[in-house]
Amino acid sequence: MSNETNRISIEELKRNALEIRKNVVRMVARNGQGYVQQGLGAADIFTYLYFSEAQLDPKDSSWLERDRIFLSTAHNSALFHATLAQRGIISPESLLSYTNDGSALEINVSERLGSIVEATCGSLGQALSVAAGVSLTAKRHEKSYRSYVILGDGELQEGQTWEAAMFAASHHLNNLCLIIDLNSLQVEGHTDKVLKMEPIDKKFEAFGWNTIMVDGHNFSDLRDAFTSASNEIKKPTVLIAKTLVGKGCLSLEGQLSHNMILPQNVAIRALEELGERYD
């Protein structure tokens, strides 16, 4: 596949992220509840990864040399599907069927959607292990594709995450990149109130990872961070990406609500804040 994705401008990235955010609000609003806050929060990370970083063929999601993206936060599915549609991997019309009876687009994404979903997660903390297995085999067979994992910060509470972190460093998986969506939100509220995890960067450094703190809404910073990951010759890389839940919709920003109720009037206001006009 071409590298033309990597030349996409920051303006283009912003334009795509905005369209994706609008679809996140629309998809969740149709259900009246869902993971709108996480979707808005991680939209810039997803946009950068799918539009600028990962080598993908939108017309052939099972292309053997593709980079593998693992969505450990499988519930962040409004954002996931909206990103795929914006990238041309699934049709924009299919978003209308999100969570409908018999739809391929479900709340916790699974590989029923095809190989664009590299592993069925949802049971938290499992993706990093599978991605490490893919990266290990890729290195052994001298394949150039890389593995990316989008992990929720709450998943750092799962022991398996740290088993996998130890394994990846021990086996020098420099073709593995973990992106932690540090949005401080889990079901019971702020992560600090549920189970303190800081200092996350020092933990990963101690585990032998190339550790980078990054503003998850700054495309220029994200580009630098992903470049550092690609240039790393020995260690796996973790990007600890600070994000704001509800980002882009002023009335929703910072509201720590996991599976948020989203009434029509709130959704309309959110869309207006994203620049959508209603006559």
Partner 1 sequence: MTNNLHLGDFTSNASNSVTIPKYYGDALVKLGHEIPEIVVLTGDLSPATECDLFRDIFPDRFFTAGIAEANMVGISAGMARSGDIPFVHTFSVFLSRRSLDQIAMQVAYPNLNVKLCGFLPGLTTLLGVSHQAIEDNAIMRSLPNMALVEPCGARQIESAVRAASAYEGPVYLRLHRPSKPMSPAEKLLPLEIGKGQLIIEGTDAIIFAMGHMVDISIDAAKSLLPHGIKVAVANIHSLKPLDTNFILENSKLASVVVTAENHSIIGGLGSAVAEVCMDHAVLPNKFLRIGLNNTFSSIVGSQHYLRAQFEIDHNAIVSSVKKLFNL
Q: Please say whether the beta carbons of 169 and 207 come within 8 A.
A: yes
Residues that bind partner 1 (CB under 8 A): 110-111, 118-123, 126, 128-138, 140-141, 159-160, 163-164, 166-167, 170-171
Q: Measured from the CB of residue 163, what is the shortest distance to partner 1 in angstroms?
A: 4
Decide whether 25 or 54 has the Cβ nearer to partner 1: 54
Decide whether 153 or 158 has the Cβ nearer to partner 1: 158
Q: Measured from the CB of residue 93, what is the shortest distance to partner 1 in angstroms?
A: 28
Q: Measured from the CB of residue 113, what is the shortest distance to partner 1 in angstroms?
A: 13
Q: Measured from the CB of residue 209, what is the shortest distance to partner 1 in angstroms?
A: 15
Q: Please say whether the beta carbons of 237 and 177 come within 8 A.
A: yes
Q: How far apart are CA 92 and CA 70, in angstroms?
A: 22
Q: Please say whether the beta carbons of 128 and 165 come within 8 A.
A: yes
Q: How far apart are CA 75 and CA 228, in angstroms?
A: 29
Decide whether 69 or 134 has the Cβ nearer to partner 1: 134
Which residues is 147 bridged to in the sheet? 68, 176
Q: How far apart are CA 97 and CA 174, in angstroms?
A: 38
Q: Measured from the CB of residue 164, what is the shortest distance to partner 1 in angstroms?
A: 5
Collapsed DSSP state (helix, strand, coil) of residue 141: coil
Q: How far apart are CA 125 and CA 164, in angstroms?
A: 9
Q: Measured from the CB of residue 220, what is the shortest distance to partner 1 in angstroms?
A: 32
Which residue is associated with the tokens 């978003």? Answer: 95
Decide whether 56 or 130 has the Cβ nearer to partner 1: 130
Decide whether 123 or 264 has the Cβ nearer to partner 1: 123
Count Cα atoms within 13 angstroms, Cβ side, for 143: 17
Decide whether 137 or 264 has the Cβ nearer to partner 1: 137
Q: Measured from the CB of residue 59, what is the shortest distance to partner 1 in angstroms?
A: 21
Decide whether 7 or 141 has the Cβ nearer to partner 1: 141
- Vertex 215, ends 211 and 165: CA angle to 5°? 30
Residue by residue, DSSP assigns 253-267 as TT---SSEE--HHHH
Q: How far apart are CA 237 and CA 170, in angstroms?
A: 13
